[in-house]
Amino acid sequence: MRHDFLLEVLLEEMPAPEIPGIMREFAAKFEQLLADHRLEAESVEGFATSRRFGLLVKGLEAEQKAVEAEVVGPPWKVAFADGAPAPALLGFLKREGLEGFPPEQVYRIENERGEYAALKRQVPARSATAILTEALPGLLQAVRARKPMAWGDGAGPYIRPLHGLVARLDGADLPLTFLGLAAGAASRSHRHHGNAPVPVGAPADYPALLQGHHVLVLPGARRLKILEEAAGLAASVNGKFDPHDPLLDEWVYLAEHPIVVMGRFADRFLQLPEEILVSALRGHQKAVPLRGMDGKLLPRFLAVIDKPPCDAGGIAKGIEWVVEARLTDASFFVTHDRAVKLSERVHQLQQLSYHPRLGNFLQKTGRIMELAEYLAHQTGRKEEIPELLRAAKLMKADLASATVAEFPTLQGKIGGLLAAGEDLSREACEAIYDHYLPEGSDGPYPRNPMGILLALADKMEAIASLFAIEELPTGSSDPYALRRQGNGMMEILIEKGQDLDLDLAATKALQLLSGILPVDQERSLAALRQFFRERLTFVLQRRGVPEDTVRAVLEVRACNPYDAFLRAQAIRQYREEGEFINFSLAFKRIRNMIKEAQTHEIDTALLSEAEEHALYEAFIQAKGAFLAAFTERNYADALKAMAALSGPLESFFGNVLVLTDNARIKNNRLALLQAIYREFLKVAQFSHLVVEKAQYR
Amino acid sequence: MNLQKIILSLSGFWEERGCLIVQPYDLEVGAGTLHPETFFRILTDRPYQVAYVQPSRRPADGRYGENPFRLMKHLQFQVILKPSPLEVQELYLQSLRHIGIDLDQHDLRFEEDNWEAPTLGAWGVGWQVLLDGMEITQFTYMQQAGGMDCRPVPVELTYGLERIAMFINQVPSVYDTPYSSTLTYGQVRLWEEQEISKYYFEVADVAETARQFDFYEAESERCLGEKLLLPAYECVLKLSHLFNILDARGSVSTTNRTNLIQRIRHLAFQCALGYAERGKA
């Protein structure tokens, strides 16, 4: 027999961003519970709104599957005396409630402690009712919010104050108690539709029943409703709504019965910098600005309200009023900030602490300027230095602006916009605007070379200075987002094809700190090297480079991320080729062979066997082609030239004994292998590649 | 409904539900939570219900009376219910209906917004209440105060009175809000915003303010030594306000910020601990 089961937990409003996790975690724990108790169900579906979560289970078995279990008794040698059960066995049967168990069904097993008597017994099948009643309180308690809370006289801690519990197994209530509250059949209607008890009948009818009381319990249903309404409203003003808008997820969990409303704001606010307009709407109001088909902003926005069906026109007016207030406020900041030149704000950075031990933002700006100049030298952009330095000097000044104080996520962008009021090239303004980029793993990146230099200098300064005072990221804690900044550096260098020696740049960044605090250069540099290598490993893998390839390329040189990326790409391209695979295997063999040998020089006069001569000739030829391609950083061709040695190497190993008795011959052969090894190690430590011998076609 | 009617109406509503109605504290505070009727009362295990208006002074929020939404000093209506009743959300909604907000015509939501005052070792879990997208109330279940668990758990409702009055009257600037049937908010308070903003941002004597900070710190310690908790706490309120002035003057020297906050926090803790121990005795 099978049942349907419904569990609904009614609480006060939960934090929207946490709800999907709470819902999924609870459903997963429930499925685990079923598995642990050998209960099967046709389906388990989690649901949640802002103030309820739970499960709808269909086709739940009424009883566990019956199984036999082996029970181990006393040691075999004391279990029987003269073929009859001895007291040790009889006592054991009594303790297990198995008096009268047929002794001939007791058998001998051997485990790590010796020989024992054992028997098979039927494990009684328990009912789903019994199991759920017993296990669900623990399961409910195990679902946690990031900040659990207590309420009343000290009830909880729990996600939010608990108001009700519905537990229905088909038509009956499960006798469940949790946090002192007994489960009943009464769910609740929408807060703004009476917030009244709704008696639940059969579990399967629950979603439709609640819908009748203006609660859409399934997130999917709410998402669909939002998407349809948003698309319709957008279309009505020739605008478009992005169905992947990041606010959508939050909208789904902010409401029990979402209604999308459209509002408009005065055209004059379209003159605000778009960044500020968008940020004010999204950040504060959780409203999505609409764009026309040409991508330009319209004086319209969409917002979600949580109401039973109603005439939402009045509410839209109310939201418009609030939005208007917000935008007026934003205009105030913009006007205020435009009244003072950005360059006049630079000295205010003195007031702004970067870190108690690292001084203020003016000092930090000074370090970034020096680092940017250094990077310009390193990357061949010397002629841009004067303009670069003027941009670098202004790049943090927006932190002293009212707009950034109000919209912190617009840091950099505001600076870029305000810089337009300075005597600065467009490229320099864009560079300031972009210098916090990239924010995520797939860009966007700084638009121009100057922006790249500023972004790199800013991140390198932050990472190196915090490493110098040992504020390192540990485990899941990275309060200064150093990992994200490190990843950002790698992404920029790779994406923009920019060569840079991170070792040298980090050394420079550490030297710049020597004026304000004692720095253990060697120790900090070692930690930074390790950190950058980890970041590069992470970024390369995120870009699809296999772990073994990352290890192979970084082992020989990790300080130039773009170069490492090029080498990794070439290996990815070739690693499936038979010649390349065989070369890698031979390389591994060479490595093992020369591991303990001293270094020797090749003496061509000592080459004796034909295959030895052939390998030498092939090597000299391959080396020429290899080096030509290698210096051009055409690593694909370099690998091709190298892999051509796989045949000669195979013949060599097949026919020539390297470790011969003649020491001079042996050393000469080792010298040949060492030369090959040294040459190709310039690209990667090929012995790290996990490859299997290929069949020649 | 004008601002003073809203205040009278809310006071009446909570008075009828058993709250003691007290008056604003007569020292500068940044939030209604700092009123001793909240700060100390939530520390004991005795049930308590209280409501009051508290002008909240935040020097750095001053805008010379030029910004239609920002104020150097705004009015909070503060309610403390200890223990938090299970139906507190419904009570709160009733109070809104009581001051004339027709919830059927508006969208009201409880969105996560936790509260924390590190200087007081206090934090809570709660929401900002949004009315058609505007934050009108901070709703907090206090979890810890003075570094100690709150038992029973108090719930704190902080109504933003200007916001609510602006909303009810649908005026674009706080200064246009009717304060009474004849006077606007601007007529009553604009002058104060203009002059005191200027004072905090431009005129306040930094060196003397810093000296006063040192003085009130020593004074607070001395009172603690005499087991005079309330005077010691009044010094803490002075310290918080002096800190806010220094901050508005842009002269809380960078490294000093954490340091000043820690000094205030240390004293506030002592006051809270002393009171909690006295409650147990």
Of B107, B110, B125, the CB nearest to A149: B125
**pLDDT value at position B119?**
63
**A163, B86: Cβ pair inside 8 Å?**
yes
**pLDDT value at position A693?**
64
| Chain A from 421 to 480: CB within 8 A of any B CB | none
Confidence band (pLDDT; 50, 70, 90) for A254? very high
- Residue A454 confidence (pLDDT) above 60: yes
Which residue is closest to B163 within chain A, CA to CA? A322
The full set of domain ranges for chain A reads 2-64+128-212, 67-123, 219-338, 356-543, 574-688
For residue A260, the chain B residues in CB contact (below 8 A) are none
The DSSP secondary structure of B22-37, one letter per residue, reads -PPPSS--SSGGGSHH
Cβ burial of A228 (10 Å; 0-12, 13-18, 19+) is: exposed
Q: Which two tokens stand for residue A604?
A: 């061509």
| Contact status of A324 with chain B (Cβ, < 8 Å) | yes
User: Any idea how long chain A is?
Assistant: 697
Confidence band (pLDDT; 50, 70, 90) for A82? confident
Question: Rounded to whole angstroms, how far apart are CA atoms A638 and A581?
Answer: 15
- Residue A351 confidence (pLDDT) above 50: yes
- Residue A77 confidence (pLDDT) above 70: yes
User: Any idea how long chain B is?
Assistant: 281
**B107, A15: Cβ pair inside 8 Å?**
no
CA–CA–CA angle A433, A437, A438 (5° rounding): 155
Question: Rounded to whole angstroms, how far apart are CA atoms A573 and A571?
Answer: 5
| Contact status of A14 with chain B (Cβ, < 8 Å) | yes
**pLDDT value at position B255?**
46
| Residue pointed to by tokens 């328990």 | A126
Would you tell me how many other CB atoms lie within 10 Å of the CB of residue A125? 14
| Chain A from 150 to 209: CB within 8 A of any B CB | 150-154, 160-161, 163, 192, 195
Q: With pLDDT > 90 as the criterion, what percentage of chain A qualifies? A: 73
Whether the bond into B152 is cis, omega within 30 of 0: yes
Count H helices, E strands: chain A? Answer: 27, 22
| Contact status of A15 with chain B (Cβ, < 8 Å) | yes
Q: How far apart are the first and last CA of chain B?
A: 47
Q: Which two tokens stand for residue B178?
A: 């009717």
Of A50, A192, A319, the CB nearest to B133: A319
Give, as one character, the DSSP assignment of residue A63.
Answer: B
Architecture of the CATH domain B204-280:
Up-down Bundle (1.20)
Crossing angle for the helix pair A663-680 and A610-631, nearest 10 degrees? 20
**pLDDT value at position B251?**
67
Strand partners, A188: A197
**B132, A318: Cβ pair inside 8 Å?**
yes
Beta strand A2-11 with A149-151 is unpaired
For residue B89, the chain A residues in CB contact (below 8 A) are 12
Of A427-436, A559-568, B58-67, the range with the lowest mean pLDDT is B58-67
Instruction: Please check whether the two domains, A2-64+128-212 and A574-688, share a CATH topology.
Output: no
Q: How would you label A393-423 residue by residue, b for 16+ Cβ within 10 Å and e otherwise?
A: bbbbbbbbbbbbebbeebbbbbbbbbbeebe
Q: Where in chain B is the domain with CATH 1.20.58.180?
A: 204-280
Q: Is there a contact between A635 and A569 (Cβ–Cβ < 8 Å)?
A: yes
**B172, A16: Cβ pair inside 8 Å?**
no
**pLDDT value at position B258?**
67
Q: Which residue has the higher pLDDT, B262 or A203?
A: A203
**pLDDT value at position B281?**
56
Name the average pLDDT for chain B: 92
Residue A402: strand, helix, or coil: helix
**pLDDT value at position B68?**
83
**pLDDT value at position A591?**
92
- Residue A692 confidence (pLDDT) above 80: no
Strand partners, A300: A264
Of A151, A310, A353, the CB nearest to B84: A151
Cα distance from A200 to chain B (closest Cα, Å)?
22
Q: Where in chain B is the domain with CATH 3.30.930.10?
A: 3-200
Confidence band (pLDDT; 50, 70, 90) for A541? very high
Closest CA to A458 of A426, A492, A424, A425: A492
Q: Which two tokens stand for residue A653?
A: 């190993």
Element (H, E) at A393: helix A385-394
Q: Is there a contact between A324 and A263 (Cβ–Cβ < 8 Å)?
A: no
Which spans in chain B are helix H? 3-16, 36-39, 88-98, 161-169, 185-198, 206-225, 229-248, 256-280
Confidence band (pLDDT; 50, 70, 90) for A145? very high
- Residue A61 confidence (pLDDT) above 80: yes
CATH of A356-543, one of 1.10.286, 2.30.30, 1.10.3210, 3.40.50: 1.10.3210
Which residue is closest to A253 within chain B, CA to CA? B111
Cβ burial of A184 (10 Å; 0-12, 13-18, 19+) is: middle
Q: How far apart are the first and last CA of chain A?
A: 60
Question: Rounded to whole angstroms, how far apart are CA atoms A444 and A460?
Answer: 19
For residue B136, the chain A residues in CB contact (below 8 A) are none
Q: Is there a contact between A353 and A360 (Cβ–Cβ < 8 Å)?
A: yes
**pLDDT value at position A322?**
86
- Residue A695 confidence (pLDDT) above 50: no
Cα distance from B69 to chain A (closest Cα, Å)?
7
**Radius of gyration for the alpha carbons in chain B, expressed in angstroms and rounded:** 19
Which residue is closest to A158 within chain B, CA to CA? B125
Cα distance from A489 to chain B (closest Cα, Å)?
28
Question: Rounded to whole angstroms, how far apart are CA atoms A675 and A612?
Answer: 14
Q: With pLDDT > 70 as the criterion, what percentage of chain A qualifies? A: 99
**pLDDT value at position A198?**
96
Which residue is closest to B103 within chain A, CA to CA? A192
For residue A318, the chain B residues in CB contact (below 8 A) are 106-107, 131-134, 167
Q: How many CB pairs under 8 A join A and B?
A: 124
- For residue A460, what are the contacts with CB-CB under 8 A and spacing of at least 6? A371, A375, A489, A505, A506, A509
Q: How would you label B65-93 residue by residue, b for 16+ Cβ within 10 Å and e otherwise?
A: bebbbbbbbbbbbbbbbbbbeeebbebbb
Confidence band (pLDDT; 50, 70, 90) for A696? very low
Which residue is closest to B256 within chain A, CA to CA? A356
Strand partners, A81: A84
Q: With pLDDT > 90 as the criterion, what percentage of chain B qualifies? A: 71
Question: Rounded to whole angstroms, how far apart are CA atoms B89 and A190?
Answer: 14
Question: Rounded to whole angstroms, how far apart are CA atoms A141 and A159?
Answer: 9
- Mean pLDDT over A639-663 rounds to 91
Question: Rounded to whole angstroms, how far apart are CA atoms B86 and B44?
Answer: 20
**pLDDT value at position A284?**
80
Strand partners, A288: A302
Closest CA to A472 of A460, A485, A483: A483
Cβ burial of A294 (10 Å; 0-12, 13-18, 19+) is: exposed
Confidence band (pLDDT; 50, 70, 90) for A355? confident
- Residue B280 confidence (pLDDT) above 70: no
Which spans in A67-218 are helix H? 76-79, 87-95, 128-142, 206-212
For residue B114, the chain A residues in CB contact (below 8 A) are 147
Name the average pLDDT for chain A: 92
Of B132, B152, B250, the CB nearest to A322: B132
Of A154, A305, A325, the CB nearest to B152: A154
**A285, B133: Cβ pair inside 8 Å?**
yes
**B111, A13: Cβ pair inside 8 Å?**
yes
CATH of B3-200, one of 3.40.50.300, 3.50.50.60, 3.30.930.10, 3.90.1200.10: 3.30.930.10
For residue A162, the chain B residues in CB contact (below 8 A) are none
Of B83, B106, B167, the CB nearest to A153: B83
Query: How do residues B224-257 score in pLDDT, each as one tens digit?
Result: 999 999 999 999 999 999 999 988 886 665 446 6
Cβ burial of A471 (10 Å; 0-12, 13-18, 19+) is: middle
Q: Which two tokens stand for residue A385?
A: 């230095």
Confidence band (pLDDT; 50, 70, 90) for B267? very high
Q: Is there a contact between A638 and A630 (Cβ–Cβ < 8 Å)?
A: yes
**B89, A332: Cβ pair inside 8 Å?**
no
Cα distance from B153 to chain A (closest Cα, Å)?
5
Q: Is there a contact between A349 and A365 (Cβ–Cβ < 8 Å)?
A: yes
**pLDDT value at position B125?**
96
**A314, B106: Cβ pair inside 8 Å?**
yes
| Chain A from 335 to 364: CB within 8 A of any B CB | 348, 351-354, 356, 359-360
Query: Which of B44, B63, B109, B261 has the most A C-beta neighbours within 10 Å, making it the best mutation to test the interface with A?
Result: B109
Give, as one character, the DSSP assignment of residue B83.
Answer: S
For residue A251, the chain B residues in CB contact (below 8 A) are none
Does 2.40.350 match the CATH number of domain A2-64+128-212? no
- Residue A350 confidence (pLDDT) above 90: no
**pLDDT value at position B254?**
45
Q: Is there a contact between A152 and A142 (Cβ–Cβ < 8 Å)?
A: no
Which spans in B199-255 are helix H? 206-225, 229-248
- Residue A496 confidence (pLDDT) above 90: yes
Confidence band (pLDDT; 50, 70, 90) for A32? very high
Query: Which of A11, A18, A144, A153 has the most B C-beta neighbours within 10 Å, making it the best mutation to test the interface with B?
Result: A153
Query: How do residues A611-637 score in pLDDT, each as one tens digit?
Result: 999 999 999 999 999 999 999 999 999
CA–CA–CA angle A661, A664, A668 (5° rounding): 110
Of B107, B112, B155, the CB nearest to A305: B107
CATH superfamily of A574-688: Isoleucyl-tRNA Synthetase; Domain 1 (1.10.730.10)
**B133, A306: Cβ pair inside 8 Å?**
no
Cα distance from B152 to chain A (closest Cα, Å)?
4
Query: How do residues B96-152 score in pLDDT, each as one tens digit?
Result: 999 999 998 899 999 999 988 766 678 899 999 999 988 999 999 999 987 788 999
Q: Is there a contact between A562 and A493 (Cβ–Cβ < 8 Å)?
A: yes
Of A245-259, A268-282, B105-119, the range with the lowest mean pLDDT is B105-119
Of A33-47, A347-361, A402-416, the range with the lowest mean pLDDT is A347-361
Q: Is there a contact between A446 and A454 (Cβ–Cβ < 8 Å)?
A: yes
- Residue A21 confidence (pLDDT) above 90: yes
Question: Rounded to whole angstroms, how far apart are CA atoms A635 and B269?
Answer: 65
**pLDDT value at position A697?**
38
Q: Is there a contact between A199 and A185 (Cβ–Cβ < 8 Å)?
A: yes
Query: How do residues A198-245 score in pLDDT, each as one tens digit?
Result: 999 999 999 999 999 999 999 999 999 999 999 999 999 999 999 999
Dihedral angle at the C-alpha atoms of A498, A383, A429, A511, nearest 10 degrees? 70
